[in-house]
Chain A
Amino acid sequence: MKQQNFIYLGLGIVATILFYVLRVSAYECIYAVPGFSDQFYNAGLYDMIPLITIAVPWATAGIYYYAINSVRFDRWYHWLLVGGISTMLTIIIGYAVNSSVFSDMGLSYGAESLSFELANAVWAVVMFIVASFSMRWWSSNCRHTPIPQ
């Protein structure tokens, strides 16, 4: 069982690294708009936003399983709530970074930036699930969340 848990962790890390390596294609398959996507690429946001989309879900999942780690907060809907917060945080931080970079460059893509970050919710959710199934096994109180072992 212990070895299987490490396999889950390894697969989660590989999936996360793969997501980062293939980030431009991953994002352009969910959201690509003429003009905006080129500026997004040139501004280096295809480097920054995926890092945020990885860091926030992994951090919130870590906090849920190892900091909160409570029997009073180990139901599937608790996990779903944390996942929702994680996704919202990813959207808000991503939008703030995106707007700041574009503003420095004198660009105004407010509507496109918002649409992009909302579309990024897809990857934020995927990353939270990947992070959860990578790290939950060693949590003393929440390892059965969201699905029992």
Chain B
Amino acid sequence: MRHILSYLLLAALTLSVASCGSSPLDKAVKRALVQQDTTQAQFDSICGIIQQSPDRYRQYLDDKGQINIAELQALFDRIGGELRPPMRWDISAYGQQELSLTIYFERSGSMVPYDNAGDRGQLKKAVNDIINQFPGRKVSINIVNDNIYPYQGTVDEFIKDRNIYASTAGVGNSAFTDFQQIFGAILKAQDATNVSVVVTDLIYSPADAGSVSIDKILNEENSLVTSIFRQYKGKSVLVHQLMGDYNGKYYPYTNKPVEYRGMRPFYILVIADTPVMDRMAAQSEYAELLHPSTVRNSYRFNQSEAAVDYCVVPDWKDNAGRFRVDHEDATRLTKCEGDKTTGILCLTMAVRLDGLQKEESFLADARNYKVQSASGFELKVTPITPDLVTGNNKMYLDGKTHLLTLTGKMNGPRDQVTISLPNEMPAWIAQSTSRDDTNPAASGFSTTTLGLKEFLDGIASAFGAGGNYTTLTLNLEH
């Protein structure tokens, strides 16, 4: 009998070891991933488990006893990779240095009418919002026109200032804007933890341009911009176009001022090292900077192709036919079969696209996507709204922004479907540019900027445009 008990005890012990292998840290990480609780509070709680048992979790601490983010990320990736579908929580941002913000506020003659006491003051409001919602307090402000001049007041004084152009009157020479001087100095001065924001009308106003043809001015602008930015290929530039009330003298390229009252576009350029821009894109704290609430159009230059989170939603109302998501490789679907009556295979993926910093109208338009497959699958894009998320599909839809639905008939035993989002210069740039700004009564004056396309083409030439924002691949097998 003693032998039998020994056998049973050994078996029970084996099963206990097999079933209770994971540590409290592993369980906490898994719970956070499964429940999609990827918040700072949850991260702090997980760090608390490590710091409460420093001997047990020594590998997740550095020499100073601080959390070793790289090691912890490896643990998150391992546990997330074992889930169905695999999940990723990028915690790299938690261990990084605080960013600083430098505002470059243009004070040329054409900028002053954007901030009249009797108007709505959209320009100043947009700058104030960026300053107020920037995480951390490392903020500095400069006034720019012919050169860069530090703002003499404090940040709070700038925010409170009801007439910023009056209080900065006399700073520099407001008769012209020297892009070469300004952007050259900004790019040169910027360090790896700095974010520069240039608030400007993006109108190139060189000195002594009155007698020069517009073609020559714009070609000069284009070459100038390329020559500056090509020296800093590791930078990313995010261009926001906003609209503001304008009331006062407008200075066309002929330098003969005209009175104008109405709306005019202005621009906020966010400049940072590409990894810093990517980091901000991954953190909601920088949402106002990357997606200002009143932005009209946006485009990011030097946006590297990004991997986005996506998973096939196995049980979705639009799905038709049959398929099985491979447990080892979530991009591989096996046993794919079309619907028995129609032969159509329809499958839906949940994708997180908010990190791409594109407008919703762009992301939700299936025409902006390129689908390659031997079977000619067609794509439908649906934004994920809260009413689509139910308890059972929460696991797949939580944190995702769009549903990509592929519909088609497989015409072979296997097919590779590639969905890409090509990075092309958006149409709004060509629609917002003009080559003559001398007549404020002309149609389109209120929505266009002289030489905008030449300026932005100059940046594109410097960085080299093209490629994709992201690419998703699915491998289908019968």
Contacts and interface: CB of A to CB of B under 8 A. Distances in A.
A9 B7 contact: yes
Nearest to B323: A34
Interface string B1-35: 10110011011001100110000000000100011
Contacts of A21: 18
A107 interface: yes
Nearest to B322: A34
A20 B391 contact: no
B284 interface: no
Nearest to B390: A108
Contact of A42 (B3, B10, B83): B83
- Most B CB within 10 A of own CB, among A9, A38, A41, A44: A38
Contacts of B315: 33-36
Contact of B84 (A42, A44, A47, A106): A42
Contacts of B391: 105-108
B90 to A, nearest CB: 20
Nearest to A39: B395
Given A13-B11, A105-B34, A38 B314 contact: yes
B394 interface: yes
Contacts of B392: 35-36, 39, 107-109
Contacts of B4: 9, 135, 138
B338 interface: no
B393 interface: yes
Q: How large is the interface on B (under 10, 10 to 19, 20 to 34, 35 or more residues)?
A: 20 to 34
Interface string A102-145: 00011111000000000000000000000000010010000000
A56 to B, nearest CB: 13
Given A34-B315, A42-B83, A6 B15 contact: no
B403 to A, nearest CB: 15
Contact of A20 (B18, B83, B325, B394): B18
A13 B3 CA distance: 13
Given A105-B34, A105-B35, A38 B395 contact: yes
B11 to A, nearest CB: 4
B265 interface: no
A17 B15 contact: yes
Contacts of B14: 17
Interface string A41-62: 1111001100100100000000
Contacts of A20: 15, 18-19
Nearest to A106: B391
B85 interface: yes
Contacts of B15: 16-17, 20, 51, 54
Interface residues of A, number: 30
Interface string A5-45: 01001100100110011000000000001111111011110
A7 B30 CA distance: 40
B34 A38 contact: no
Given A34-B314, A35-B315, A35-B393, A43 B34 contact: yes
A36 B392 CA distance: 8
Contacts of B19: 20, 47-48, 51
Contacts of A6: 3, 7
Contacts of B395: 38-39, 42
Interface string A77-118: 000000000000000000000000000011111000000000
A17 B34 contact: no
B381 to A, nearest CB: 22
A6 B3 CA distance: 9
Nearest to A107: B391
Interface string B307-333: 000000111000000001100000000
Interface in B240-269: none
A9 B9 CA distance: 12
Given A13-B7, A20-B15, A51-B19, A38 B85 contact: yes
A55 to B, nearest CB: 9
Contacts of B3: 6
A108 B315 CA distance: 14
- Most A CB within 10 A of own CB, among B3, B4, B313, B325: B4
Contacts of A107: 391-392, 394
Nearest to A6: B3
Given A107-B391, A108-B392, A135-B4, A41 B84 contact: yes
Nearest to B315: A35
Given A17-B15, A42-B84, A43-B34, A10 B394 contact: no
10 contacts: A9-B7, A13-B7, A33-B315, A36-B315, A38-B85, A38-B395, A42-B395, A51-B19, A105-B391, A138-B1
* The 5 nearest A-B residue pairs measured at CB: A34-B314, A35-B315, A38-B84, A13-B11, A34-B315
Given A13-B11, A35-B392, A47-B19, 18 more contacts: A9-B7, A17-B11, A20-B15, A20-B19, A34-B315, A35-B315, A37-B84, A38-B84, A42-B34, A44-B30, A51-B15, A54-B15, A105-B34, A106-B394, A108-B391, A109-B392, A138-B1, A138-B4
